[in-house]
Structure 1
């Protein structure tokens, strides 16, 4: 059996460290792993199972001899270095937003659209964390009943903004609890979006902004969910609208999803379909207060779905609640799962034609 030389780009980040952890439990046959990060991290070490990998500086020549490169170091890093990886003969799985809407790049949740990878051009994109778990919840319903409309409100964990945001949140919470500081007096430098003009505390707060705003008054996070759903499900006619909110939870995104099916659905059948779908776990027993909770999803690869019920006024309307570890299924595990699927479909090989520009 062929084994692969793997590189993880962004190996010191919240997702990169989890990519390495997931690779220690993968079915992917691995010959070696290279940890790549910025110059300031070079020479430090990062855990890989019971080993320590010395971090190497990411450069244009880092991918010689690499078969598979997992990227999670920011869109600008992927934009510059992913084409060099492809040119060197590697297949790239990119966890940033940079390539997601590129028509030459498949956007993949393996349980939903693994077939999209079959004609890849060297790069496969991992969708946004909030989109991934929604796809797992919706796809078993869509396959049987069709899907016309989705309205989603997210309750997204701080971990989606990275380690620095989680550290800042811990400091804020400590200041309120231990020092009796009023929440409005807290300083903030990262949330709701590090790249925006103003920042607000997340401690005991909810911020209805993730990423910066676009010209239509939706945020980029909200528009990602709209565009990515249509691309993954290969249906531009699905109406999708999102409101994305950051809440004071460290790890684990939660979503309230309203959907309208093409055919009227039976709720008992919907629950059965979800319970049998790969990657989904049904937690829906309201008589015993059983429903998905973010705290219970941490460290798990699955997406948990519950509170499934008919809309009171719309005959083909359904409400549900889904939860997932945004750093695992929402990022690291979905990326490694894509790699496993590439191996299973014999798709890890150099591409014949370079379609991406070197910068």
Structure 2
């Protein structure tokens, strides 16, 4: 048997689950074994994993989760609330991509380049991956916040259909083909047609007019940055793009940061690339980011409506850094911090 961790990928047939398998392979993650789990409807499907092929198993078939060292979850909040504690109680580290655990006081919400230290306090054995748009946002604004604390953040997202999973991708593809062939379209996934359109809501708004997607940005940002005094307002929209989320952001630090200094702070942050430093027309787009691991930033400029405000544009791959890659990076960081190792007789080994 190969040395390394015994890994379970739960929700392996979804868009993020498949990307998790791809990222594990791409990064040569130290796996002794990898098993793919999904709903009963997907049992028996074959998935590529590097040069190997995995046969999908039913999550319900697991009688003893202690056979795993690490479980990467992307199976939705409802199933995560049931299954993540079962894995964690067995000594398996769970890294969950749903929103189920993000606001739990004892569950770290982690972007490794921003708050890796929070992994030291994962007492429940569960670590949450932030919302896909939140990850790109905090990567870009964290270095600004460390230089001068931010008092206000205004963010508008332009989120691709892959944020809705495979069904969102299929709906955009189907509607685009129908319109090019002069056929009518019927929305099934979204409340209105997504092809050649922009939807100003992602989900139902609450009594104050904000959707759950917007609330995630407004709460998760504070938890990751460790500052509940920041005021965040978000508008989340859906756009007819297959992969890649873009964000238009305005921040207000307590004291002004020079534009060149701000650009340099962002460029020096791990996992971030400022693309238009040499050419102003090279601001990033979703086309640039698909399949990439970095978060791209451009159009850093002064906000003339505010004494200290700065505006910027952020783009990231919502399936990779916005989900699968961040999950795997959390696991890699836990290995580096000696928080994750192969188990022996149901407990994590430490050296």
Same fold (TM over 0.5): yes
In the alignment, is the contact (CA less than 8 A) between 2:5 and 2:341 conserved in 1?
no
Dislocated runs of 4+, deviation >3 Å:
285-288
Find the counterpart in structure 1 of residue 130 from structure 2.
127
Find the counterpart in structure 2 of residue 140 from structure 1.
143
In the alignment, is the contact (CA less than 8 A) between 1:187 and 1:201 conserved in 2?
yes
In the alignment, is the contact (CA less than 8 A) between 2:280 and 2:299 conserved in 1?
no
- 1:304-323 alignment to 2 at 5 Å? 304-323=296-315
In the alignment, is the contact (CA less than 8 A) between 2:335 and 2:341 conserved in 1?
no
Size of the aligned set, in residue pairs, is 340
Matched, 1:262 2:263: no
Q: Cα distance 1:80–1:285, how it changes in 2: closer, same or farther (>3 A)?
A: same
Secondary structure at 2:315 match in 1 = strand
Structure 2: how far apart are the matches of 1:237 and 1:222?
18
Q: Cα distance 1:49–1:28, how it changes in 2: closer, same or farther (>3 A)?
A: closer
- 1:148-297 alignment to 2 at 5 Å? 148-177=151-180, 179-181=181-183, 185-191=184-190, 199-285=191-277, 287-297=279-289
For residue 287 of structure 1, report the CA deviation from its aligned partner: 4.8
Secondary structure at 2:66 match in 1 = coil
Q: Cα distance 1:245–1:87, how it changes in 2: closer, same or farther (>3 A)?
A: same
Structure 2: how far apart are the matches of 1:168 and 1:264?
44
Find the counterpart in structure 1 of residue 4 from structure 2.
3
Structure 1: how far apart are the matches of 2:305 and 2:201?
30
Greater Cα offset, 152-161 or 1-10? 1-10
- 1:9-48 alignment to 2 at 5 Å? 9-26=10-27, 28-48=29-49
Find the counterpart in structure 2 of residue 354 from structure 1.
none
What's the Cα RMSD here? 1.6
Structure 2: how far apart are the matches of 1:45 and 1:254?
33
Deviations 1:192-243 (A, max 9, x none): xxxxxxx211011100111222221100000000000011111111000000
User: What TM-score comes out, normalization by structure 1 length?
Assistant: 0.92
Secondary structure at 1:64 match in 2 = helix
